[in-house]
Amino acid sequence: MKAAVSFVSLAWLSLVPTEFVLAASSPPTHSTCSPPGLRPAPGQLCSLEEGPEFAYDDSLWTHDVQCFYTTSNQESKLCLYTDANFKFGRGISIFTRPSIAANITGQYKFRHPEQLPEFLSPPAQPPYEQVELPGRGVGLFANRTIQRGEVIFVDTSVILLAREAQSSLPRSTIKKILWRALEQLPEPTQDMVFNLHRQTGGDAMADIMQTNGLGQVIGDGIRHLAIVPDAARINHDCRPNAYYRFDDKTMELSIIALRDIKSGEELTFTYIDPELPRDERRERLQKSWGFECSCSLCGASGDVVVGSDNRLELIKNTRKQMVEAASKPFELINHLEKLIDLYDQEGLHASKPRFYEIAAYTYSQLGDDKRALEHGKLAVEYWSAIAGKGSGEARRMREFVKDPKSHPSWRSA
């Protein structure tokens, strides 16, 4: 047996659970520029205090670009960019670094929205409907069976805020920026944003962003919070049935079914790392979103919660054991099968594709083409949903399943 395993990377095995960094940091306070619950009429928005002024015209944007030095670095600035014509008049406002804005506008699909897929517009009969939920705003519920891996809908961000702004600019400035970002959008889009659920109190736009903001990464790993109106209607569950995938080339957010969803089921995301134990999940949700989770798992009986927490501890320990067994394929494959089964029991489907892929390579190393192909096909299916059909992960596994025996991992143990 070889001392090292080339195709089961320690980097893969040591991957931490997917981060779900979605919340703003601290609760908003009141603003004299935009009283809580009131939407300012045009012209009533307080002027933005820019210090050294960097506002300028740019043909790629429909409004003057307004920039601000950050308090942490006087040579660094963040700017507000608006294209009111984006996506056929839906509009988009982005508060970010100039380099990120340049990266966005340099993308062909951003500059040519007519090339976006037809399904960007909601289908005539979407597979979901909006339902008013007492005390929870609006939720989306399936009106037919939605198949695992199905793209439920595609939406675009309308307001994006670089997360670094929260630590490098005064809160009062951020609130003014959010109001300006809203005011520069077309009126129907303003209405769509302003009607989103609020729950933290204080400044209305800060509340909307904190309550509805989704985490998105643009460019070279720069984190942003985004308001995506339809996706904002999807509520939290610690064992979600849907997942969102963001494309920073088009500003599109795709909503994908993680499992079969029955008619009448509510569509759900997880707002946090779902592999945390119940008490930690509740604590983080309370701190960031201001609610105590009462999903089917968190609100279950004590025995159910204890059983789930025990499985989560087993998941954590099994992942550690996999790292230690990286050069021992017979031992590794046992850990992998155990881990995948634990994820199935916990309903944590978004975590599975990487381990299906590692299992496919490991079975290939052991010369088991039947199981290598079986796990490879599952990796293709899940990577296509989680990362996209055109992703490097999905393409890589499609090549693998064509003929596992021709892959360099074949009988390499």
Give 104-137 pLDDT, tens digit per residue. Answer: 877 756 666 655 554 455 566 899 999 998 877 7
**Residue in the structure block whose two tokens are 């307080």:** 46
Read off the pLDDT of each residue in 137-166 and give the average, rounded to a whole number. 93
Q: Residue 79: which H helix or E strand, with range? A: strand 77-83
> What pLDDT score does 165 carry?
92
Give 25-72 pLDDT, tens digit per residue. Answer: 333 333 333 333 334 443 344 444 444 333 333 667 999 999 988 876
pLDDT-wise least confident of 102-106, 176-180, 382-386: 102-106
pLDDT band at 17 (very low <50, low <70, confident <90, very high): very low
CB 393 within 8 A of CB 355: no
Read off the pLDDT of each residue in 266-287 and give the average, rounded to a whole number. 94
pLDDT band at 321 (very low <50, low <70, confident <90, very high): very high
Q: In the chain, where are the structural domains located? A: 10-16+300-406, 66-271
Helix (H, G, I), strand (E, B) or coil at 269: strand
Full strand arrangement of the beta sheet holding 151-156 = 151-156, 252-257, 242-247
> What pLDDT score does 51 carry?
41
| Count of C-beta atoms within a 10 Å radius of residue 206 | 26
pLDDT-wise least confident of 66-80, 107-121, 213-227, 285-299: 107-121
User: Average pLDDT over the chain, rounded to whole?
Assistant: 83
Architecture of domain 66-271: Beta Complex (2.170)
> What pLDDT score does 35 carry?
33
Architecture of domain 10-16+300-406: Alpha Horseshoe (1.25)
pLDDT-wise least confident of 90-94, 218-222, 242-246: 218-222
User: β-strand 151-156 against 252-257: which pairing, if any?
Assistant: antiparallel
Q: Give the C-alpha separation, 393 to 376, whole Å.
A: 11
Q: Give the C-alpha separation, 275 to 281, whole Å.
A: 9
Question: Which two structure tokens, joined as six digits, stand for 187?
Answer: 């009126």
Percent of the residues in the chain that have a pLDDT greater than 90, as a whole number: 60
pLDDT at 175 over 80: yes
**Residue in the structure block whose two tokens are 């919660």:** 305
pLDDT band at 247 (very low <50, low <70, confident <90, very high): confident
> What pLDDT score does 289 carry?
79
Give 186-205 pLDDT, tens digit per residue. Answer: 999 999 999 998 877 789 99
Q: Give the C-alpha separation, 402 to 37, whole Å.
A: 57
pLDDT band at 306 (very low <50, low <70, confident <90, very high): very high
Q: What is the sign of the dihedral through the CA atoms of 275, 246, 71 and 171?
A: negative
Residue among 221, 216, 286 at smallest CA distance from 251: 216
Residues 6+ apart with CB under 8 A from 236: 268, 269, 270, 271, 285, 289, 293, 295
pLDDT-wise least confident of 135-139, 239-243, 290-294, 383-387: 135-139
pLDDT at 24 over 80: no
Please tell me which residue, 44 or 155, carries the higher pLDDT value. 155
Please tell me which residue, 299 or 50, carries the higher pLDDT value. 299
- Max mean pLDDT among 34-43, 74-83, 352-361 falls in 352-361
Read off the pLDDT of each residue in 388-399 and give the average, rounded to a whole number. 94
Q: Give the C-alpha separation, 326 to 320, whole Å.
A: 10
CB 238 within 8 A of CB 293: yes
> What pLDDT score does 74 carry?
59
